[in-house]
Chain A
Amino acid sequence: MGQRVPEHFEQSDVRRAAEGDHAAFERLYREHVGRIHALCTRMVGSDVADDLTQEVFIRAWRKLDGFKGQSKFGTWLHRLAVNHVLSRRETIRRRESKQAFGEGILSRVVAPPRRSSGHALDLDRAVRRLPERARDVFVLFDVEGYSHDEIAEALGVSVGTSKSQLHRARMLMREQLD
């Protein structure tokens, strides 16, 4: 993406989009799609990130009239995305389990961890290897900057669990990146 859109332009686009202006919503989409797509990719995987990203923006469009402007649009959108990803993951997991004998899953299961010779693994690839709960906390805390309180609420765990999963994630990441 290019330069960030000044905030007052964004506010104007949010207002217009809430009134049904598709072009304004497209500008908001262009501005934020990278971050939302990154969240979906890191939390659920690249194979369904496109679908989830689209669902997030469709959902955002439908909920825009409920956006009161108490936070920045990007913050609101991002929280909506986190909730959507968490709620949709169950369905995705169920579908994946139905396809458990599919080639895609098998290859994912049996493929040995690939390490590039002499180089640290790509950080995003390492994130994908984390256990799910540790990955959630790591992405939300270290990448996205949420607090433990916010993460605990979103994931339905205690703050202590959020902290211990973060530490677990960092330790595992450190081992992978060594």
Chain B
Amino acid sequence: MTYKDNEHPEWTDRLSDFLDGGLDPETHAAFEAHLGECGSCRGVLEGLDEVRRRAAALGPIEPTRDLWAGIAATIRAPAAGAAEGATVIALPTAERARPDIGSRRSHRVSLSSMQLVAASLVLVVGSSLATLTLRSQSPTSTPPVAATGSEGVIMPAGTAAPPPADLALELSSLEQALAEARGVLDPNTVRILERNLSVIEQAIEDSHRALMQDPENAFLAEHLDRVYHRKLEYLREAARVVESAD
């Protein structure tokens, strides 16, 4: 890395350590001696100290809109949400990049439930390329995000999704075992395990929220169940890692 005004990299590269008191006393004294006679390094040190002081003084950043409504709706119990007829405000879904389909003719067909029913459940797209847009078309099909954009999404979602009954016990005991083993694993392994688990938990959360909106949807129920099984497999794998670390 090349820095501006870095005349004595052997000194300047450790100036942050010096500032933070991370040098042993002997090296610290040597730094002080060098700084006493080197204006360039003193200048760099002052600059770094200025950055450090200004950073420490950085304060909170309040959001420009109230985020509480979206949080409150999500943490509210489903029964309460339903009883109060919790409002669902659909927000625009983030646009996805479409794959490059070159010179092929593209026919995109947006299908709402009503359109499909009106078509007697049969649709023929007689082209070489058909596109069905299956994105939310009704108030009950809000994108699966807690909140995006400026309006705030209100979801009739409940608290954490309960795992399927046949998995609950094993999930719970594996989670507990993993929590207890945290101390015996090296921090990097803990970080990896927790990061992977958070991906699965996010998937569970997304699926659960979607299912709360559309409880009759068999695909969503199956999807949630699959993610839970994936979580179970993952925890078993994590338990194997813990065992091998013992």
Contacts and interface: CB of A to CB of B under 8 A. Distances in A.
Direct chain A–B contact by Cβ atoms under 8 Å: yes
Contacts of A177: 47, 50-51, 54
B146 A178 contact: no
Given A62-B160, A123-B55, A156-B192, A54 B13 contact: no
Contact of B58 (A29, A100, A123, A156): A123
B95 A178 contact: no
Contact of A50 (B15, B67, B190): B67
A22 B148 CA distance: 22
Interface in B13-60: 13-17, 22, 44, 47-48, 50-52, 54-56, 58-60
Contacts of B75: 22, 25, 58, 61-62
A168 B1 contact: yes
Interface string A77-96: 00000011011100100010
A153 B199 CA distance: 19
Interface in B146-177: 146-148, 159-160
Given A99-B94, A153-B191, 8 more contacts: A34-B61, A38-B60, A49-B63, A51-B147, A88-B198, A143-B56, A163-B16, A174-B48
A172 to B, nearest CB: 8
B71 A34 contact: no
Given A83-B198, A156-B188, A170 B63 contact: no
Given A167-B15, A174-B50, A58 B56 contact: no
A138 B190 CA distance: 23
Nearest to B14: A167
Contact of B94 (A95, A167, A172): A95
Nearest to B76: A22
Interface in B80-133: 94-97
B62 interface: yes
Interface residues of B, number: 56
Contacts of B74: 54, 58
23 contacts: A22-B75, A30-B68, A33-B62, A49-B61, A50-B63, A50-B65, A51-B145, A83-B194, A86-B195, A87-B199, A88-B202, A91-B202, A102-B97, A138-B55, A143-B58, A153-B191, A156-B191, A170-B51, A171-B44, A174-B44, A174-B48, A177-B47, A177-B50
Contacts of B65: 50
A91 B7 CA distance: 41
Interface string B188-207: 10111011001100100100
Given A86-B195, A170-B16, A175 B3 contact: yes
Contacts of A99: 94-97
B97 A173 contact: no
B183 interface: no
A14 interface: no
A54 B195 contact: no
A51 B148 contact: yes
A55 B144 CA distance: 13
B68 A34 contact: no
Given A34-B61, A57-B71, A142 B94 contact: no
A123 B54 contact: yes
B4 interface: yes
A73 B194 CA distance: 21
Contacts of B78: none
B139 interface: no
A169 to B, nearest CB: 8
A55 B206 CA distance: 11
Nearest to A147: B20
